[in-house]
Every structure is written in C-alpha cells, then in structure tokens.
Amino acid sequence: MRKQRLGTAFLVVLTLVAFVGCSIGRTAVRKQELPTAGVSQVKNGVEVTVVGFGTTKRWSELEISIANNRSEPIKVDVRKIYLINQGNYALDPYTDREFHDKVNKDVGQIVNPITLTALATGLSAIILPLDDQTRRNLARVAGGLAGAAVIGGVTKYKKAQEDQTFKGDFGLQNRNIPTQLRIGGTLYYPPVEAARGVKAYITFDGKEEVFDLVF
C-alpha cells in the first residue's frame, strides 16, 4: 500500500511537470471562421480588410490591413477601429497598458519557499501513521509538487513575455499611410465569444470615412 501511494504521488509529479513543460509558448488563440472570400471594403481608393480574428479568455485579437491607393496620404487612428460583438456593441481596442495588465494577470503567483514548505508539512501531516522514511519520501514528493507549481508560474511568465513581444512586433499603430502602400497589424480588444464585424474610421480628403465590415 505504501509503495502504491509513493508510486501514485510520483506519477502525479511527473504528469504535472510534463504538462507545464509542454505548455510553454504564446497563448493559444481560438480562431473565428471568416467568409471564404474575406471581409473587405473599398472607398475612394482606400481598402480596409479583416485578415483574421481570434479570441482567448483575456482578450480578442483582430488582424487587419489598410491599403492606400490614393494620390495623397491617409490617416489611421487605431482608437477609432471598433470591434462589433455579438450584441452589436462597439468595443474600443485595448491600450498598451490594458493589454499588459491582461496578459500579466497571473504572473507573480509563482510558488515561493514558504508555500513549498507548507505543502510538504501538510502532506507529511496527512501521512503521520506511516513510518518516518515513508513520510520523508512523501515530503520530498510534496516538494516536487510545489516545484511543478513553480514551473507553471514560470511558464505563465514566459507566455506573458511572448504575448507582449508579439504585440510589440505586430501591433497596429497610429500612422499616416503614404500613397500606394498597404500596412497590416493586430489590434487587441476585450474577449468576446464571437465578433459580428468591424467599424473603422479612416481620415482622408479632410474628413473621416466610415468602413463597415460585417462578418
């Protein structure tokens, strides 16, 4: 029975370590299927296209491209590119600070030495009827469990770093788009189950034009 308990405990440790070890990488995004022909609208030589849309439990992300086929620059303000959710509400994109807070929400919950000791002590207390050697072995298993929790915390931290790097590399920024140029990037919004479309305000000819893209 004691050997069985030890074997089960060690199996739990190995499973946890394997799980968190395989989970390192940028946060997985659940993609929403878009019309095969794509979602695009052209007005007076300006083309706005939704390239892709996906969501996670903390944010949604919209990949979008804007092409300027006019003879003068156009102005893009990313705060005026709204995501329309399933309730037909228009959502502002996250600011850099808001996105930072979302992806780092769980970071910092890495198990510390005090928690590790508490886990070991708690497990030892549960198995007091066993002999000293078995208690010591299971206490080490408890330390292993805490170590797996630490690995999980480090994994979250690495994911947060990769998410931040991705946003820095691919995030769409405010800019004037020169003539005959197409730009693309990603905008981040509050998480939604599904998106209904995008409403983008692009400035040219001295006024804002509204682009309504429906999924």
pLDDT digits (tens, 9 = 90+) for 151-162: 666 677 788 889
- 12 — pLDDT class (breaks 50, 70, 90): very low
The range of the structural domain enclosing residue 48 comes to 2-214
| Confidence band of 21 (pLDDT split at 50, 70, 90) | very low
Q: What is the pLDDT of residue 41?
A: 96
Query: How many alpha carbons lie under 13 Å from residue 95 in its C-beta half-sphere?
Result: 2
pLDDT, residue 146, reads 60
pLDDT level of residue 16 (50, 70, 90 thresholds)? very low
Specify the number of domains making up the chain.
Answer: 1
User: Cα 138 to chain center, whole Å?
Assistant: 37
Q: Which residue type, as a one-letter code, is found at position 68?
A: N
Measured distance CA(195)–CA(129) in Å, rounded: 57
CA dihedral 45, 48, 51, 57 (to 10 degrees): 170
Distance CA(189)–CA(160), nearest Å, equals: 16
d(CA 69, CA 135): 74
Ranges 51-55, 126-130, 191-195: which has the least confidence:
126-130
Q: What is the mean pLDDT of residues 92-110?
A: 81
Computed over every residue of the chain, the mean pLDDT equals: 80
Q: Residue 15: pLDDT above 90?
A: no
Count of CB atoms situated within 10 Å of the CB of 171:
18
Rounded-to-10 torsion of CA 58, 62, 63, 69: -150
DSSP output for 103-139: HTSSTT-PPPHHHHHHHHHHHHHHTTTS-HHHHHHHH
For residue range 136-181, list pLDDT tens digits in order. 666 666 666 666 666 666 677 788 889 989 898 899 999 999 999 9
Around 208, how many Cα atoms within 13 Å sit in the side-chain half-sphere?
A: 10
Q: How far apart are CA 150 and CA 148, in angstroms?
A: 5
Residue-wise pLDDT tens digits, 51-83: 999 999 999 999 999 999 999 999 999 999 999
Q: What's the rounded Cα separation, in Å, for the pair 104 and 168?
A: 15
Q: Give the C-alpha distances (Å, rounded to integers) separating 75 from 80, 108, 197, 199.
A: 11, 40, 21, 15
- Position 133 scores a pLDDT of 72
Whether the Cβ atoms of residue 173 and residue 57 lie closer than 8 Å to each other? no
Residue pair 65/121 in contact (Cβ under 8 Å)? The answer is no
Does the structure show a pLDDT above 80 at 20?
Answer: no
